[in-house]
Structure 1
Amino acid sequence: MSSTPFRVSPAEGYAGDVTPQQAWQWVQAGEAVLIDVRSDAEREWVGFVPGAVPVAWKQWPGMAMNAAFDAQIAAAVPQGGRAVLLCRSGVRSIAAARRATELGIEAFNILEGFEGDPDAEGHRGHRGGWRFRGLPWRQN
């Protein structure tokens, strides 16, 4: 475990909630695998984090559950390893972190997600999130 000044917020059913900055520090230090649980469409249209492992929780269209989630996340995270899970706003990643925990993975939700909370006009990207915090990302 790293000796960072960051703190893990307790959570029910998974290891806890961490800030985007803490998640990125763990990933850079080789202490966690970054799992992007957004749909393929979201990563393609909105942007993605280079090096993140794409393991959709739900898929577009229709946001149907990814039947391969269990096998994909188990393959992505080494046994005894830690995963930090990223979605659009930090909501779907909670459900995915709970499932990963049931599979024996130490799983953390990344607060704020990739795009953060909507502002007064309903636009994301201006109130928190991976991109807003200036962390690495790309767009096709």
Structure 2
Amino acid sequence: MSAADRPRVGIDALLEQVRTGLDRVEPQEAFDAASAGDALLVDIRYAALRERDGLIPGALVVERNELEWRLDPQGSHRAPEATDHDLHVIVVCNEGYASSLAAASLQQLGLYRATDLAGGFQAWRAAGLPVTEA
């Protein structure tokens, strides 16, 4: 199949498609799961946003371009928190778009419980959940 014959999917359609495989969580649900030790929050926002808006206490900060390498339990560059494929990962971006794509990518690595925070960091903050300065 030539490049011209390949189907084209716009980002909105792709986002809708990947979200069908995610059990997205709301801010309070994410807070409760992380507080109970049942989920790992992973903040993929870039440094300027973290510096501007703050951090979610206890969240693992991983730049988006390193996410798969840091969370692959079999990877040579994995974070200590990446213990196994059963890990419940909740990916957090700024507004809940890039995190959906990132969570779908983690699912492709076998992290079948990976999902994302609906509304991202902005929804977390709007819900009045804890935020610390970067």
Answer whether TM exceeds 0.5 for this pair: yes
Greater RCO, CA 8 A, separation 6+: 2
1:77 partnered with 2:82: yes
Could you tell me whether the CA contact under 8 Å between 1:33 and 1:77 is conserved in 2?
Answer: no
SS at match of 1:85: strand
Greater Rg by CA: 2
Task: Kindly provide the CA deviation profile for residues 102-131 of structure 1, in whole angstroms up to 9, marking residues without a partner as x.
Answer: 11112111011111xxxxxxxxxxxxx101
1:93 partnered with 2:99: yes
Partner of 1:62: none
Candidates 21, 24, 28, aligned match of 2:31: 24
1:136 partnered with 2:130: yes
Q: Please give the alpha-carbon distance, in whole angstroms, between the structure 1 residues aligned to 2:92 and 2:67.
A: 14
Q: Which has the higher helix share?
A: 2
Paired residues, number = 108
Query: Scaled by the length of structure 1, what TM-score is found?
Result: 0.71
Partner of 1:12: 20
Please show how residues 94-109 of structure 1 align to structure 2 within 5 Å.
94-105=100-111, 106-109=113-116
Report how far residue 12 of structure 1 moved. Answer: 2.5
SS at match of 1:114: helix
SS at match of 2:57: coil
Pairwise CA RMSD of aligned residues? 1.6
Can you give the 5+ residue segments of structure 1 that lack an aligned partner in the other structure? 1-9, 58-65, 116-128
Can you give the 5+ residue segments of structure 2 that lack an aligned partner in the other structure? 1-17, 73-78
Identity of aligned residues (%): 33
Give structure 1 regions of 4+ aligned residues with deviation exceeding 3 angstroms: none
Q: Which has the higher strand share?
A: 1
